[in-house]
Amino acid sequence: MQLRHIGPFAVSPISLGCMNLSHAYGTTPSAEDAERLLLAALDAGVTHFDTAALYGFGANETLVGRVLSPHRQRFMLASKCGLTREAGDGTVAAGRVIDGTPKNIRATCEGSLRRLKTEVIDLYYLHRWDKKVPIEESVGALADLVRAGKIRTIGLSEVSADTLRRAHAEHPITALQTEYSLWTRNPELAVLQACRELGVSFVAFSPLGRGYLAGALPDWAAVEALPEKDIRRPIPRFSAEHFARNLPLLQRYTALAAEAGCTPAQLALAWVLQQGQDVVAIPGTRSVAHLQDDLGAAALRLSDEVLRRAGELVNTATVSGHRYAEQARREVDTEDVEA
């Protein structure tokens, strides 16, 4: 794969989001299957692996550390802080809390370093901006970690252009990560432009629309069959009302991919990569076959006409439903196409 850059790091344009090996998408794979997937990605040329302290409440970092630490010099390692496990008290179940205080950032980083079995994390994101803490204070704590040699660069996740500029004034930000795909265009409102003005790389998570653009949910029966704790269940786009409107759109999109001679996932990833050389996509998967399919998008040479048609078919105006449920909408700081 022709490499792209995130700050000083040369990375594969299609890299790997590791979350769903431990978190959010129903039943997690066995340890053996997860290890097989990570090593297959490494052997296929993936040079950027993205995890977080939140994923599996440390389980994902532990997995990545166990499997990939022997190969540490072969890839760029990204993780995140600022979303923390909140212990239950016997009456309330353990959950998560947004905590961007310097104390929590430092403690989370120490735990991440241990679990990842590394002396330094290449790119360390503030997973969510804790709006009770000035962004300058949280970024200042991350800058202290850079100076201490515990992290190399700083990233932000799901923040607005204004917040990015404030953070960058405190300490240079290397990457901004947020959801971006054919069916989620929020970054186009302001963040992509701000990244380019500041020289900040853009990392697109969920570039396959949480499986929708890969054809993983071809009908309502597939949505109804999702496990109870699957992250997609509360998302409005996957509700009965909105999915019924989005399904015909998916069918037309799938037909376009077939016409172009590629899979729906490849078309979606090719579209994301076309948005700029400063954009890197991090799809996630639990299947080696799907991994290979995803990575194949990096070598595609689709016509501008096909990519234009894909963008005109699936976009903010044609997709029904918000990308997040109400609680998650309150937690992020991104510009909102539906605000």
Task: Please list the active-site residues.
Answer: 55
Q: Which two tokens stand for residue 299?
A: 């070598």
Q: How far apart are CA 279 and CA 177, in angstroms?
A: 10
Tell me which H or E stretch contains 276.
Answer: none
Which of 273, 149, 258, 255 is CA-nearest to residue 208?
A: 273
Which of 44, 116, 53, 48 is CA-nearest to residue 76?
A: 48
Angle value at C-alpha 197, between 195 and 202, nearest 5 degrees:
20
Q: How far apart are CA 178 and CA 171, in angstroms?
A: 20
Which of 282, 252, 248 is CA-nearest to residue 264?
A: 252
Which of 334, 310, 299, 63 is CA-nearest to residue 195?
A: 334
Give the contacts of 167 (CB within 8 A, at least 6 positions apart): 135, 136, 139, 154, 156, 159, 173
Q: How far apart are CA 31 and CA 20, in angstroms?
A: 13
Chain position carrying tokens 């389980």: 59
Strand blocks (E) in 107-170: 121-126, 151-157
Tell me which H or E stretch contains 177.
Answer: strand 175-179
CB 39 within 8 A of CB 67: yes
Q: How far apart are CA 290 and CA 60, in angstroms?
A: 20
